[in-house]
Amino acid sequence: MSEGEPKAEPEASGNSGYISLDAVCKKFDVKGAILREIGKIPKGKLIAETEFCARTAGKDRNRFRRCLDNNADEFRPYRIKLTIDDSSDGKYFWGRGEDIEQALRMRDL
């Protein structure tokens, strides 16, 4: 090694001081998580928004809500408000685009 070259830094052993970029993305990329979860919803099924939120944003309901507000037009085709029983004001459900379209047609009859 010549005199002007920087010395090679020793590799960090284990996880000392490092955090995985995947872990950061998993925690903060709620939009990506929502899009991935939409793809996992079985055809012909809907999922309640409370469960969907837990799967995509964990306990951080505010982060989920902000993401939803900031991407309302993009997520509109995958979300519907339904009143399933008479005692409820309605709840939001998520599903595949074609399933939401069918539910909309049935709801608006």
pLDDT score, position 89: 84
Low-confidence ranges of the chain (pLDDT < 70): 1-15, 87
Domain ranges of the chain: 21-107
Residue 75: its pLDDT value, please? 97
Q: What is the pLDDT of residue 7?
A: 53
pTM, entire model: 0.75
Specify the pLDDT at position 82. Answer: 92
Burial class (CB in 10 A: 0-12, 13-18, 19+), 46: buried
The reported pLDDT for the residue numbered 33 is: 93
Number of neighbouring beta carbons within 10 Å of residue 55: 16
Calculate the alpha carbon distances from 65 to 21, 36, 76 in Å. Answer: 23, 17, 13
Sequence-ordered strand ranges (E) for 1-109: 46-48, 79-82, 91-95
CATH of 21-107, one of 1.20.1070, 1.20.120, 1.20.5, 1.10.10: 1.10.10
pLDDT at 11: 52
